[in-house]
Structure 1
Amino acid sequence: MRAQFCLFFALTGMAVVAAAGLIFLLTGSHASAQPIAGAHYSGSIAGAGDVEFDVSADGAEVQNLKFTQIPCGGGMHSEFTWPPLAPIEVANKQFDATLAPLATRVTGRFPTEGSADGTFVLDLGPCQSSKLTWTATGSVVPTPTPTPTPTPTPTPTPTP
């Protein structure tokens, strides 16, 4: 009788582990990917203009962040560039930064390698946007190989 209980619990445990593995396999991993270090990301804002930014060479910061054609205050703000003196740190494959004293805010994450998405709220006093969503894709811009300068060959001088 005791052997039957042990067998029952062993089979039940194996079934639970198998079910958990099947659920993981069917739903996939939901872990975010690392940003591509040194990459340039560009994309669009839903119902608005464009977004672009760079990821630092070490992957720790978002830099050169720019949004264009942002609807706000009943009109359109042509361009907003995040100030370079207000760093946007990447931590746990995500970023979240707010500019004080107003409430201009950007959030983002890197859900898969080479992609990013997030939200943006522009607050410039009278020009305030709703929460806008954006998506972008990234790629590493190859460093151009310099064209080699040919080495001049000396012209032989005739001997008299």
Structure 2
Amino acid sequence: YNLESGIYYNNDVGWAVYFFGDDNGLENNPDCTPTWSTGSICRGLSHLAVGKQLTFTYEYCKSDSQICLYVDLQDGKGRRFLASDKRSTVEMYAHDIETFADGNRVEPKIPCDKPTKMVKQSVKGTDGKWTTMTGNKWKFEDTSPRYQFRNVKTSANPANWESCSE
């Protein structure tokens, strides 16, 4: 629904939560500094440690015309609102690694013996039920030349994979 989220690497903040594609002009999480015209690096949700697990949630806001994005850092504070946007497309993305190679910055190294792991993706429908993303319910795209995607199991329930760079 025109939003994407994930873990972003930047030399200034290390690993951080980010979102992109929020173009409705509504106020978002104050821990998220506007970085791009429609997105933010959440500096207040940064310095994520190796082994850290987090959860992104997309669901209809109280108004059915908006989709809301939340993150739970599994730190006992629960879900934090990140952004909302109008429901304008059928696209929603959760990336496990994103860097965009901003300003000739050093790309992060992710050892293949300690890869990132996407362990589950689910979507909450208008009926209030959660559906696990697997098989033909979503499309896996491996377009990064910098990272290896391994153990890709899109037909598993839930779909899962690992990624690394060395």
Q: TM-score range by the shorter chain?
A: under 0.3
**1 or 2, which has the higher strand percentage?**
2
TM-score by length of structure 1 reads 0.24
TM-score by length of structure 2 reads 0.24
**1 or 2, which has the higher helix percentage?**
1
Select the structure of larger CA radius of gyration: 1
